[in-house]
Amino acid sequence: MTDLAFHLLLFLFVAAFIAGFIDSIAGGGGMITIPAMLIAGIPPLETLGTNKLQSLFGSGSASIAYARHGHVNLKDQLPMALMSAAGSVFGALIATVVPADALKGVLPFLLIAIAVYFGCKPNIGDVEKHRRMSAFLFTLTFVPLIGLYDGIFGPGTGSFFMLGFVSLAGYGILKATAHTKFLNFGSNLGAFLVFVLYGVVLWKVGLMMGAGQFLGAQFGSRYAMAKGAKIIKPLLVVVSIALAIRLLADPAHPLRIWLGL
């Protein structure tokens, strides 16, 4: 692929900045960066590979910001991040040989369910609740499962991690957001390594967008820490619904094909 014109690189930088801001708070940044890269004329497979590169900067930036303010201990969370990365490696390998239509079909409804859960549960805030699953079991089961999903398909990964941390690990919503980012970094890294091996990463584009992601995530994480559940909870609901709508709006979505729409 030939080099992109400067105005397209600038467009992608701005898209990545906005995505980094939103993703550091509620996830869902991929619903901005992936369409932006496709609009810029980047082929689908290169879009997926390059998206993982630039996402590393956003999730890494947010992880550092939350860690600096004491909301997550990255050293303690490293085993979870490694399990997330391992799951993502297997997911990305599966994605190279198995179509993701089944996931694509059910995902919008899972995202709507997440939005309903967070929107209708009034007691979700910054205070931690009762843990339903031990940290060891959570690390061995839920974390690699979501990492696997991120490697295969990806959209909504942050929302699924958030749901697990709040409903299973009993975290308050700000703490859950902080811990989600490092696991997202792990799953991005695992899938990225697979895409590098397949030679489908556009380095110039990915690094340019990565700079935008890094800056956007710094602003977004600081905003989330200042506002807490007041901003994280509604934005998570909005992002989940918006992502579900965007997936259902795709003419190639299995449900639309089945209904003949």
pLDDT for 108-122, tens place per residue?
A: 777 777 777 666 765
Q: What is the mean pLDDT of residues 225-241?
A: 75
Q: Give the global pTM.
A: 0.80
Biggest distance spanned by C-alpha atoms of the chain: 54
pLDDT in the model for residue 251: 75
pLDDT in the model for residue 229: 64
- Top pLDDT among 245 and 14 is at 14
Alpha-carbon Rg for the chain, nearest whole angstrom, is 17
Token reading at 164 = 């697990």
pLDDT in the model for residue 185: 93
pLDDT in the model for residue 104: 64
What's the CA dihedral at 36, 37, 40, 41 to 10 degrees?
-140
**Using CA atoms, how far apart are residues 227 and 245, in angstroms rounded to an integer?**
27
**Using CA atoms, how far apart are residues 143 and 182, in angstroms rounded to an integer?**
11
pLDDT for 197-213, tens place per residue?
A: 988 899 999 999 999 99
In one-letter notation, the amino acid at residue 23 is D
Residue pair 12/209 in contact by the 8 Å Cβ criterion: yes
pLDDT for 123-135, tens place per residue?
A: 555 555 667 788 8
Full DSSP string of 202-213: -HHHHHHHHHHH
Share of the chain above pLDDT 90, in %: 28
pLDDT for 36-83, tens place per residue?
A: 888 888 887 788 889 899 999 999 999 999 999 888 898 999 999 999
Share of the chain above pLDDT 70, in %: 85
pLDDT for 144-190, tens place per residue?
A: 999 998 887 776 788 788 888 888 888 888 888 888 999 999 999 99
pLDDT in the model for residue 102: 59
What's the CA dihedral at 235, 236, 237, 238 to 10 degrees?
50
Using 50, 70 and 90 to split pLDDT, how confident is the model at 236? confident
Burial (Cβ within 10 Å: 0-12, 13-18, ≥19) of residue 93: middle
Token reading at 74 = 């990255």
pLDDT in the model for residue 103: 60
Burial (Cβ within 10 Å: 0-12, 13-18, ≥19) of residue 3: exposed
